[in-house]
Structure 1
């Protein structure tokens, strides 16, 4: 298949994994029957042949209706009742229900009757935001096909393109589906034209559905059975399965979600990791329906969970291959680990909570392997962690999940990105912690900051505001094109630090909510990066240090000192707040001393008595300032960093 390039940004994504199997399979004539719900999925799945298994995912841009479409499919397959009133069933996390977005891929196995035969459908609902693209990558590894869902009112957006190329690179069968056709603002003809222009998809193969009303959803399920191929596997071979997800259960330890490539997995079997050679005993296997349902066996081609007596979360490596003890199989390639784009330091609000908080962070990192965790310390805030995330939304969701699922809150410092420093001796190192960044320019030869190649998709009437936004963020335009007469595509080279500093919110604001973006790493570029430190009465506060571009140092320093001044209570002596860059004080604020009225008891008399009392007060405050230390409550740091 010859694919017209939407942008050279994505060309590299289609150069790997292309096999002889066609990307699309022409639909056969449908003779569908009404779905018959099956209560016992474990018993039914055991008798379904491999040729009747379909593993597929739903991919799209954020807010295009993936979770709502999943609800309609679960209703038609009898997993949930339509009268139950449940919505977004596969969005199990509190943060997903509250924010209305999917942040964690979820699996559901279903039984569906088609042409008087039972089929096992394994659905994976994936996130649509760029910060959770690793979830999409892991999910597609367990599939033979996917639904490319596009909002008929908005058309193709940035993450639509990115997810398409992820599926195309894995040679998956892609079924284009237009959603929300029931809305009066839907423009299906324009969106179909975009599919032909951008992806060279045949508009005749696209399905038009409404996930809200359920229109044409039964036909979509039939198309999945017709077009998505069954898994290619050997039921009689030795067990071979790959770990695609994991989570922690307080009573059972680490639970894994596996795809059975060959053979079968039964409870009581002794298995081992091909990569680490650690051995485990399988206590239980089953299906996600969408909650766990225990089964006797997982057969080749199926996707299910396994409880295998694994207690250490570090042993669950996504992409790891497992087989039975005494057998030898070839390990699968595994998953490429994405490098964090933004880092923060995190500290417990109460130091006695450190141990329990550490366990909670490890368990969340088990469920989201794109999180980077290492121990760290601060002279001001004590023992904590250095955490890395794929974006600012990823960080925000992590903090929400930590609070919702484990009842913990942490104090986080200002986000930073990793910088590459070339020292005077020619050696290079990566620095993401402001405390490790050199204070003086003479200590290093060059600093390079990470860059991002950003693709922005938005209505063409917002070209001016979007270009102004990118230019204000030190961006360099790379390309400008049009998806159609109404939608524009801009490519900009932006510093990663500016991209992570609320850029997406600013884009939504200047495009009235119609803009979307997708980005990828674009290497490093030399830049004038400096360290900004803060001092209280001459003592440095390492928790407030930050790394930023020289052009914004003075503005940031003044604003931060004014905010810090409003938070620190007045002392009995004058307190100096200073901002320092390259060993030079560039800004200062002063907290005046709290002064007692020592002359209140003097009623008349010689004025020299009052002067003597005032002189003694001044000398006392001078001694206090010389020998006293400013004690800053941890709540001050919490308020300062949270409002930052």
Structure 2
């Protein structure tokens, strides 16, 4: 929808790992970015070094000669000024506004030609249904007019523009008509998807389709069937969960939802753990209660060979964490492509890694970099299936009876591993309460109480402390669980459990 863009870079740190993905997309669209080196008022700022790093990144991403000859400015967003040269006097942002008008070309559309509007974004309203958002490439569109939707198969579906809205700041405003170059929101096309064209019904001409990245990970969403089911959630039935998932498809174009072989299970596919994690957290906050399985990669056949998705992984971390990260990623079948160590003691590493090798790595990376690392990854392509990847090498501690966890039981079992719960937490049979020190699972009674007697213990007055438990938030839980485990999601709690557990009589 844009004719130009601005790349903002920190004057001290230079381009960050996450800059690579968005800049690559902009260069692929043949845009010529205006580079703004921000935070030049900081004492440790090195604006010209940061600018050289930006040029290196442009060359690395295959920018054309015209794109490499980018305009640049120096600015301070905090102080509110921009300037073309460091030695210039600056009072306001006028140089930036002038650069936009000078280097960003005006829209190329012709309002006299037949209507062409490409769907770029989707929205949904309970009153209007699906709303499509895009820029008018050619022609004019008016509220109430007849138009034609050209779908990805080339079929032409005629419909009426029921409502036309434009944008003023961050607000949508109703419009009677709009012409080429404007970005508008249109309702009346219930089956429109990303990349399709809304055209003149008398002379329908499609624009080139936009390709949306396909999902790479899949999870099973199902009705919560644990002993605590229905206690904390507002929406708990399969019908309510199914309706919510299919409603998400109205706006989330990268998501796929299918009915599984059971009426209370649904296969949900997305672009990664973060994509699916955002959906889960949103549903949880809305009052939904359900359970999800371990994320699984989506395999494909390419030229008769079984292939799996690969990702480009970029890590930014302290230099002393490099060795442990390379070792751990080697175990996950990653290949290092590039490594750069800067003068400030930080290192940037690039890897190509199978998507399943990334499952569970984020938690390890945070620990290895002591919380100082930055991790970014994006889908690369499908490649031939690689060998087995080492999964979690430790078992779990599983509660074998329902009750309330006690300090006494947790303290006595401290030498068996680390816990995910504190004393006073309700547990049930089959619930995962911690990580075992050994590879196999271990069943524990975490509700055991101390037998009281009338004898005073010699150490009774000593202060006994329990080691801090590992807090299992949603992101960590999704990374941690194994193939035979589930994450129970409720508005109040996140619990880990075994899918089915049979316990011997004790």
TM-score (norm 2): 0.68
- The 1:477–1:229 alpha-carbon spacing in structure 2 relative to 1, beyond 3 Å, is same
Which residue, 270, 273, 278 being the options, matches 1:397? 278
Q: Deviations over 1:343-377 (max 9, x none)?
A: 11112446863333333222322222111211124
- In 1, Cα distance between equivalents of 2:368 and 2:440: 32
CA RMSD of aligned residues (A): 3.9
Q: Is the 8 A contact 1:179 1:208 kept in 2?
A: yes
Structure with higher Rg: it is 1
The answer to whether structure 1 residue 298 and structure 2 residue 178 are counterparts is yes
- In 1, Cα distance between equivalents of 2:101 and 2:363: 38
- In 2, Cα distance between equivalents of 1:504 and 1:264: 52
The answer to whether structure 1 residue 159 and structure 2 residue 22 are counterparts is no
Partner of 2:470: none
- In 1, Cα distance between equivalents of 2:99 and 2:296: 46
Partner of 1:288: 167
Partner of 1:334: 209
- The 1:576–1:527 alpha-carbon spacing in structure 2 relative to 1, beyond 3 Å, is farther
Partner of 1:224: 100
- The 1:356–1:181 alpha-carbon spacing in structure 2 relative to 1, beyond 3 Å, is farther
Q: Is the 8 A contact 1:576 1:590 kept in 2?
A: no
The answer to whether structure 1 residue 387 and structure 2 residue 299 are counterparts is no
Q: Deviations over 1:319-364 (max 9, x none)?
A: 10011222221x1222212122221111244686333333322232
Unaligned runs of 5+ in 1: 1-141, 430-447, 530-548, 578-585, 595-631
- The 1:223–1:590 alpha-carbon spacing in structure 2 relative to 1, beyond 3 Å, is closer
Q: Is the 8 A contact 1:269 1:281 kept in 2?
A: yes
- The 1:333–1:410 alpha-carbon spacing in structure 2 relative to 1, beyond 3 Å, is farther
Unaligned runs of 5+ in 2: 60-66, 83-92, 225-229, 406-427, 431-438, 448-485, 500-506
Q: For residue 552 of structure 1, give the secondary structure of its aligned residue in structure 2.
A: coil
Deviation at 1:458, TM superposition (A): 4.4
Larger % of helix: which?
Answer: 1
Q: Deviations over 1:525-580 (max 9, x none)?
A: 44454xxxxxxxxxxxxxxxxxxx4x436x35x32xx235477999xxxx998xxx
Partner of 1:212: 78
- In 2, Cα distance between equivalents of 1:464 and 1:298: 58
- The 1:516–1:588 alpha-carbon spacing in structure 2 relative to 1, beyond 3 Å, is closer
Partner of 2:323: 464
Partner of 1:323: 199
Q: Is the 8 A contact 1:148 1:175 kept in 2?
A: yes
Q: For residue 245 of structure 2, give the secondary structure of its aligned residue in structure 1.
A: helix
Partner of 1:30: none
Which residue, 332, 343, 347 being the options, matches 2:222? 347
Q: For residue 119 of structure 2, give the secondary structure of its aligned residue in structure 1.
A: strand
Q: For residue 230 of structure 1, give the secondary structure of its aligned residue in structure 2.
A: coil
Which residue, 188, 195, 216 being the options, matches 2:47? 188
- In 2, Cα distance between equivalents of 1:370 and 1:413: 20
Partner of 2:411: none
Deviation at 1:215, TM superposition (A): 2.3
- In 1, Cα distance between equivalents of 2:440 and 2:136: 62
TM-score (norm 1): 0.55
- The 1:499–1:566 alpha-carbon spacing in structure 2 relative to 1, beyond 3 Å, is farther
Partner of 1:252: 128
Q: For residue 401 of structure 1, give the secondary structure of its aligned residue in structure 2.
A: helix
Which residue, 231, 237, 260 being the options, matches 1:376? 260
Describe how 1:305-320 pairs up with structure 2 within 5 A.
Answer: 305-308=185-188, 310=189, 312=190, 315-320=191-196
- In 1, Cα distance between equivalents of 2:301 and 2:69: 51
| Aligned residue pair count | 399
Partner of 1:97: none
Q: Deviations over 1:234-282 (max 9, x none)?
A: 1111111111111111111111112100011100111111224222211
- The 1:199–1:427 alpha-carbon spacing in structure 2 relative to 1, beyond 3 Å, is closer
Describe how 1:11-22 pairs up with structure 2 within 5 A.
Answer: none
Which residue, 347, 351, 356 being the options, matches 2:240? 356
Q: Is the 8 A contact 2:289 2:489 kept in 1?
A: no
- In 2, Cα distance between equivalents of 1:464 and 1:233: 53
Q: Is the 8 A contact 2:315 2:373 kept in 1?
A: no
Partner of 2:495: 639
Q: For residue 358 of structure 1, give the secondary structure of its aligned residue in structure 2.
A: helix
Q: Is the 8 A contact 1:344 1:386 kept in 2?
A: yes
Describe how 1:572-611 pairs up with structure 2 within 5 A.
Answer: 589=442
